Each structure stands twice: as C-alpha cells, then as structure tokens.
Chains A and B, each alone.
Chain A
Amino acid sequence: MLFNSYSFVFLFLPVALSGYYFLNAKGKYQMGENFLLVMSVIFYGLFDIKCVPIIVASVGINYTVSLLIRKTQSKWGLFGGIAFNVLLLSYFKYTNFVLSNLNNLFSAEFSLLNLVVPVGISFITFQQISYLVDVYRNSEVKYCLREYMLYALFFPYVISGPIVRHNQLIPQLRDSGRKKFNSEQFAKGIYAFALGLGKKVLIADTFANVANVGFSNISNLNALTAAIAIFSYTMQIYFDFSGYSDMVMGIGNMFNFDMPMNFNSPYKATNILDFWKRWHMSLTSFLTEYIYYPLGGNRKGTIRTYVNIFCVFLLSGIWHGASWGFIVWGVMHGIANVITRLFKKQVLKMNKVLSWLLLFAFINFTWIFFRASTLSDAFMLVKALFNFDIGTLNAHMFPEMASAFILPEISVIIEILFNNISLSNMIFMMLTFLVVFVCTIVMPNVNEKLALFKPNLLKALFCAIIFVWCIVSFSGVTSFIYVNF
C-alpha cells in the first residue's frame, strides 16, 4: 500500500490515527503502541505478505542479539549481529547481481535465484545495525521488544526511510505528553502531508512520464531530448524523494511525533559537500557515524581520509541498488567529494553561481547512471547529450515527451484555448520545467515552511485543493495496444 493510494488515504491512515488516539485517550498507552505495531505489520504485509515472516524474524533476531550484546558487551556478538544483517541484505539484494556478473566474466552458467526482495530491507538493515552498535557503545540503551519492533517497523518510514535512529523515536513514544491529540502538530502534519503528496503525485510522477519516454528510447534521442530526459529525472527523483520525506514528516506530526529532517533543499547546494549535507541526510548521518568514523574518519592522515570518503560513497552506491549504474554513481560522487576536499579553499572562494552551475551539471550527469537500465544505456545517453545535435522540435521523441507531460486536466485547457495543440504542449512543458526548477532553488522547503506555519483559510483551501487533485490522480484509464493487431 502506497501513501498515494485510495486505501491509505481513506482507510488505513484514518483507522491508524483513530485507533491510536482512542486508546491513548483511555490511558491505554501500551495498547496504543501495540495497535500501531499491528497496523505497521499490516501496512508492510500489504506490500508482500510473504516477506512479513522474514522481516519480523530479522527484527526478533536483532533484538535478541542486542540483549546479548548488552549483557556480555561482546564484540563478537556485535560483529555477528552486523554480519547477520549484511548477509540477509546481501542474499536478497545482491545474489543475482553477483551470479550474473560471474556468468558474464567466466562464461559460467549459474542459475539466478527466484528471489523476492523484501520491501524496505535496505532501510531496515541500516536501522538495525545502528541500534546494535549503539547498544554496544552504551549499554544504557534498553528498550522492550514492543518498543523496538515498533521502532524498526513503524509504517511511515519502514518502506523508504528516512533511516530513523532509535533515540529519535523511542523517547517520543515514552513521552506521555505526546500521547494526547495535539491540534497544532496535527495541522502541521496535514500541511506537510499535503505538500509531500502534491510533490509526489503531481510533480514527480509527471516528470517521471517524460523521463520514462526518454530512458526507454535512448537510441532515438538527440542532445535536446537527452537533456530533457536527464533533467526530467533530476526533477523526478528530487520531488519523489523529498515528497515522500515530507509525507513521512506529516504523518509523524499527525501522530504527534517529530520525524528527522531528510531533505534540506539539496538543489540549492553550491558544492558537493554541501549537497550531501542536504540530500538524504539520514543516510549521510548513518554512513558518517557507522562507516566513516569506524574506518578512522579523518584521524589517520590525509590519504586515509580520502580513501575512507571514497569507501563511504562506494558503499552508498552499492546500497542504493544491485547494478553497475548505482556503483558508478557512488564512485563518481566519491571522486567528486575527494577532489572538492582537496581544493576546498578554492571551491569555497568560487563565485557562488558558477559553483552552483558546476554542481548542478554534475548532479544531473550522475543521475544518468543512477536511472539508466544498464551501463551501456547510460553511455549511449551521454553520447547523445554530447553530440550537440539539437534537431527539430518534431523529432527525436520531443512531441512524445511533451504529450507524456501533459496531464489530462491540462490537456482539456490547452484544447479549449489553443489551436496548435502539439506546439502548445511543448511550450507548456518547457514553461513548467522552468517554473518548477526555479521553485526548487528559490522557494523555502517544507521544513522551513513548517517552522513559520500559521494556519489560515487560504492555506486550508490550498491543502484541500492539493488533496483533491492528488486523490483524483491516484487512478487512471489505461489503454493497451494490441500488438498482434
């Protein structure tokens, strides 16, 4: 069940909120937490019921290991726990990647496994590793099974993050002051959820339509349409991820919890160091604390520092997905980080606009490898981009991209107002690109908006319009082309 679905908005979320606050109002706080835990397991199970036993077992095993670590302070216990989590993640996510690469390298014929990757396993793995390490470092960290399970499986973030630390959620669970319905928090939650839903459904999914046209037809692209495809994906991933993070924040607020900020207008960053302080902040924080520092951080000399940084980004690439594209993406960011640190003084002195331009171009470029299905597709797209052939506006997938971008409600307006629909579509697309892009680098983000949030009728009307516009976008009318025809 996705956040952007009828069943979540009309059924799951209202039931979860009602049940939780009803039980809390009766003073049954533990029952309220159990209720949230059950709802979280149901939420997870609706993605794939077969994976529920795997994830619940993983949580149970991690909790047991944490008890052992607390009792014995055993380093081997910690290593064993970390190894268990890494092996579980590796088995599901990377086995077939390794096997197919072995087949290619050595002309072997290993059969790929028929595996279903448990949803959210990457996030759950890092979350649980962070908990085990924290327990080892501080035996005062002590939660009951109910608290731990709810922390590990809480539905707002279990599927796509952020990577929440135990001490970011569980103290809030224990705070009886947060058990009561808080209208200010709830109002902020509605506002954040509306904005996040709008970002995901109206903006990200629309840009995705254009990106998909481009990335599915790379051989037909010229420089212009290659750039449009890449830029579309840059916008798609930004609004998808930040929209999702906003929804998590919003849902958290509705339950009277403060969720950690995960996005801080990353496309406003002027260098790669700044970018990674703003993009997927919970991942950066995890990698810094649990990978970079244990490797030695910057305490073992300059060369070792750069090696550590490179390893962190390589790991980040691998964590994002089992393909060479993700690894190349991670490596590129690692190299960029190292180079920026090497020339940090010069970078910080650089003209901010130039610095921003260079970074934004780099980010767009690296997203090619993140999104393309294969490395050869990525290189083909790079080649199309740099052949500098702009061509005409009636070819190279430009009309198809424009058509994919136009929402049905916009299509009606264009049809009524303009004669040349095809040209109008293209102009509308380019104008929208410009407006949306400017908003990402100029407008305050949701965190900043929430800090200054003052409810009024206009905001209520705005939220209502966004909610309705998104809800009526959850479903569509699909058409299929009968290819035998």
Chain B
Amino acid sequence: MYNKFIKCTLGLTFAFLIMFAMFVIVIDPFFHYHKPLEFLKPVVNNERYQNPGIARRFEYDSILIGSSMAQNFYVSELNEAFDCDTVKLTYPAIRTGNYKYMFEAAFDTHDINNVFMGLDIDPLIDTYGNYYFPLPEYLYDQNIFNDVEYVFNKEVLFGEAYQSVKHNYKGTVPDINEAYTWTGHFSKESAVGSIFWDYNVVNDPYEAPQYLDNAKMNLGNNILPYIKTNPDTTFYIFYPPYNLLWWNWHLCRGDLNAVFDVLEYTTEQLLQYENVKLFFLHDVEKVVTNLELYKDYNHYNADVNSEIIQWFKDEKYRVYPETYMERITNFKDYVESFNYVEWIETD
C-alpha cells in the first residue's frame, strides 16, 4: 500500500502539473509559444514579460523602441505617417541590452522596414551588461528547461492569463495603441519640483572616462551591429529632448564634458550608416525651455511625441555627418551659458 501511495501521489502531481501547464501554454499571456489566438485578443500591459513574445510572434513591419521617452508615442500615428505596421517594444529605464534582445528577436523573425528609436544618455553611459530592472530570462533565452518558471507559475495563470480571459470575456481589452502610455501633471511647478540638486552651485568639472568607455561597449555590441547588418531597414533615431534642467544637473554635478563626449562619439558612430536618420532634439529650444511641457526634469508630454513623428516625416532637426559637430558644439555653449536661475525662478 505504501508503493501505491507513492505512485498515486507522484502520478497525480505529474497530471495536475501538466494540466496547469496546458492552461498557461494555451492562453500564453506572454506570447512565448504562439501568437495570440483568434478568439483571445492580446492584453498588452507588461513590457518586460511580453516584449520578447511580441517581437517574435506579432505581425508587423516596423518597431518602436526606447525608454519612457518613447512610451508616449501612439503607434497609430506612426503607422499613418509612414504607412507601416508598428509594434511598441519600449522599456522604462531601458538599457542597451534590451535593445539587443529586441533587435535579435525582431530581425530574426521579420523583415523590418523601420525602426523608430529613442536613444537616451543613461543607457549609453551605464556599465555594459547592466539592466535597470532585471529581466525574466526564461522569456528571453532559448533554454526550454527554465520555461518551468513560466508554465508552472500561478501568478501567470491567475494574474496575466486570468486578466486576458476576463477582458476578452467582458469586451474590455485595452486598445493596444495606448499600451504603456502614461500621463501626469505637466507644468513648470511640477518640473521645478523635481529638482534635487542645488542649481546655484556649479561644481568643478571632473573626468568621467568610464562614460565613454561604457558607451563604446554599449553602442558597439548592442546597437550598431544591427544597424550595420540590416541596411534595408531605416533607423529613425532621436535623442529625446530633455529640458534644460537635466543639462543643468550635469553642469552642476561636473560631468557635463563627459556627457558631451559620449554624445559626440555616439552621433559620429551612428552617422556612418546610410540607413540611419538621426534627429538631434536636445537643442529644440521651443520645447526644452518650456517647462509647461514637462512633469520633471526630462519627461515630456505626449504632444511632444506626436510632434516628433512629424519631425521624422519632415526630417526636421536631423543631423548629418557634416553638421553634427556644429550642432553639438553650439548646444554645449548654450547649456554652459544659459541663465538657469532666472529661468527657474521667474514666471
């Protein structure tokens, strides 16, 4: 009878686990095994977990990628402007490793016409290999054994899978066009309220050679190879227009020179490729000096994202190999000579 007990227990355990896994695999809220079922519209609400599946399984010919600076794009506007079909593969606090994963997944499985890409400074200067938020590796790698973390995961079944079924049943599936968009209180008061440094004190500049070293690794390993090996894909790359508070922070901190070294290097590297259209938006004065558009020292509202799409189309604020140095130099002079105190303290 003890043998029977052992066999029964192990057999039932195995059977229940298989049943559980089948539910997860069929609903597949992270699109790890198959594209969304016809009767189950995708509920897109979790970038870290869903982006790899979206990149591999969805139907599209263009991708939008970047940080929170890119999350407020509406893919419908991109599609209308460029007559394409775009998926959003953004990550808050993106790092270049995220770009690499998404490029690998997208280019391996699709012919990509356009990549609309925000490129922030932080991912470039961060230590190569770092992620701001850890990734669920089992959804990013090819190791089938660690899929146990997906198929035997009650938070997947009772969380994500349940939400997917519930929304489809109730007809409340969120519009994918609005996925990951965010809002907030955009005003000068809000932007100035985010200042955490003393903008009256400019510290002596210090050397930060690690910024450039990291940028070389990040760019060279995780971004440039995909531009190079996909010459038929147009990369619309933009530097998000942080407001001048962000630049003031680096000026006061003392690492402004190092940041500009990275900006110069990155621009030079990107512009060597013909399939890159690079948009230098840091110096768009009407935006970066208007704190009413911002909720903090770098996050702008969705209207700015919509304008950026138009700039892509009109090729406004684009830089070229023969013009980028002048743009960067002029902007650096502008940042260093700007009257921040008056700008911040007067209405």
Q: Do A and B bind each other?
A: yes
Residues of A within 8 A of B (CB): 6, 10, 183-184, 186-187, 190, 194, 407-409, 411-412, 455-457, 459-461, 463-465, 467-469, 471-480, 482, 484-485
Given A468-B13, A482-B68: A475 touches B93 (CB 8 Å cut-off): no
Residues of A within 8 A of B49 (CB): 477
Report Cα–Cα, A485/B133, bound state, in Å. Answer: 14
Residues 142-154 of B, flagged 1 when their CB comes within 8 A of A and 0 if not, give: 0000001110111
B5 contacts A412, CB within 8 Å? no
CB distance from A451 to the nearest CB of B (A): 15
Query: Could you say which of B9, B132, B154 contacts A464, with CB atoms under 8 Å apart?
Result: B9
A410's closest neighbor in chain B, by CB? B158
Report Cα–Cα, A478/B152, bound state, in Å. Answer: 15
Report Cα–Cα, A359/B16, bound state, in Å. Answer: 43
Residues of B within 8 A of A461 (CB): 8, 12
Tell whether B46 is near chain A: CB-to-CB under 8 Å: yes
Given A467-B13, A472-B154, A485-B92: A187 touches B6 (CB 8 Å cut-off): yes
Report Cα–Cα, A407/B136, bound state, in Å. Answer: 21
| 29 A-B contacts (beta carbon < 8 Å) | A6-B152, A183-B2, A187-B6, A190-B6, A190-B10, A194-B9, A407-B154, A408-B159, A409-B158, A455-B2, A455-B5, A459-B5, A460-B9, A460-B12, A463-B9, A468-B13, A468-B16, A468-B17, A471-B17, A471-B152, A472-B17, A472-B154, A473-B154, A477-B49, A477-B160, A479-B46, A480-B133, A482-B133, A485-B68
A412 contacts B158, CB within 8 Å? yes
Residues of B within 8 A of A187 (CB): 2-3, 5-6
Tell whether B155 is near chain A: CB-to-CB under 8 Å: yes
In chain B between 7 and 22, which residues have their CB closer than 8 angstroms to a CB of chain A?
8-10, 12-13, 16-17, 20
Report Cα–Cα, A187/B10, bound state, in Å. Answer: 11
B157's closest neighbor in chain A, by CB? A472
- Of the candidates A456, A469, A471, the one having the most CB atoms from chain B within 10 angstroms of its own CB is A471
A475 contacts B2, CB within 8 Å? no
Kindly list the 4 A-B residue pairs having the minimum CB-CB distance in the complex, ordered from nearest.
Answer: A455-B5, A464-B12, A460-B8, A183-B2
B158 contacts A456, CB within 8 Å? no
- Of the candidates B4, B46, B296, the one having the most CB atoms from chain A within 10 angstroms of its own CB is B4
CB distance from B298 to the nearest CB of A (A): 8
Residues 287-322 of B, flagged 1 when their CB comes within 8 A of A and 0 if not, give: 000000000100100000000000000000000000
B92 contacts A411, CB within 8 Å? no
Given A6-B148, A408-B158, A485-B299: A468 touches B20 (CB 8 Å cut-off): yes
Tell whether B247 is near chain A: CB-to-CB under 8 Å: no
Taking residues whose C-beta sits less than 8 angstroms from the other chain, chain B's interface range is 35 or more
Report Cα–Cα, A264/B121, bound state, in Å. Answer: 59
Tell whether B201 is near chain A: CB-to-CB under 8 Å: no
Given A408-B159, A485-B299: A455 touches B1 (CB 8 Å cut-off): yes
Report Cα–Cα, A103/B135, bound state, in Å. Answer: 39
B153 contacts A184, CB within 8 Å? no
Tell whether B156 is near chain A: CB-to-CB under 8 Å: yes
Tell whether B249 is near chain A: CB-to-CB under 8 Å: no
Instruction: Given contacts A187-B3, A482-B132, list 10 more A-B pairs with CB under 8 A.
Output: A183-B6, A455-B1, A457-B8, A460-B12, A463-B9, A464-B16, A468-B16, A468-B20, A471-B152, A474-B152
Report Cα–Cα, A477/B12, bound state, in Å. Answer: 26
A186 contacts B9, CB within 8 Å? no
Given A10-B148, A461-B12: A477 touches B93 (CB 8 Å cut-off): no
Given A10-B148, A467-B13, A471-B17: A408 touches B5 (CB 8 Å cut-off): no
Report Cα–Cα, A429/B162, bound state, in Å. Answer: 22
A interface, over-half SS: helix
B interface, over-half SS: helix
Report Cα–Cα, A455/B296, bound state, in Å. Answer: 64
Residues of B within 8 A of A459 (CB): 5
Given A183-B6, A456-B5: A475 touches B13 (CB 8 Å cut-off): no
A184 contacts B2, CB within 8 Å? yes
Tell whether B39 is near chain A: CB-to-CB under 8 Å: no
CB distance from B14 to the nearest CB of A (A): 9
Report Cα–Cα, A476/B134, bound state, in Å. Answer: 13
Residues of B within 8 A of A (CB): 1-6, 8-10, 12-13, 16-17, 20, 46, 48-49, 68, 92-93, 132-134, 136, 148-150, 152-160, 162, 182, 296, 299
Report Cα–Cα, A149/B249, bound state, in Å. Answer: 58
CB distance from B9 to the nearest CB of A (A): 4
- Of the candidates B6, B10, B17, B92, the one having the most CB atoms from chain A within 10 angstroms of its own CB is B6
A484 contacts B93, CB within 8 Å? yes
Residues of A within 8 A of B156 (CB): 477
CB distance from B213 to the nearest CB of A (A): 24
A472's closest neighbor in chain B, by CB? B154
Report Cα–Cα, A460/B15, bound state, in Å. Answer: 13
Residues of A within 8 A of B6 (CB): 183, 186-187, 190
B299 contacts A476, CB within 8 Å? no
Report Cα–Cα, A464/B299, bound state, in Å. Answer: 51
B93 contacts A476, CB within 8 Å? no
Report Cα–Cα, A148/B324, bound state, in Å. Answer: 71
CB distance from A405 to the nearest CB of B (A): 15
Report Cα–Cα, A411/B92, bound state, in Å. Answer: 27
B182 contacts A476, CB within 8 Å? no
Residues of A within 8 A of B157 (CB): 472
- Of the candidates A465, A468, A474, A476, the one having the most CB atoms from chain B within 10 angstroms of its own CB is A468
A411's closest neighbor in chain B, by CB? B158
Residues of B within 8 A of A467 (CB): 9, 13
Report Cα–Cα, A425/B156, bound state, in Å. Answer: 20
CB distance from A343 to the nearest CB of B (A): 49
B1's closest neighbor in chain A, by CB? A455
A477's closest neighbor in chain B, by CB? B155
Given A412-B158, A477-B46: A472 touches B153 (CB 8 Å cut-off): yes
B67's closest neighbor in chain A, by CB? A482
Residues of B within 8 A of A184 (CB): 2
Residues of B within 8 A of A183 (CB): 2-3, 6
Report Cα–Cα, A53/B1, bound state, in Å. Answer: 45
Query: Could you say which of A10, A408, A455 contacts B155, with CB atoms under 8 Å apart?
Result: A408
B122's closest neighbor in chain A, by CB? A484
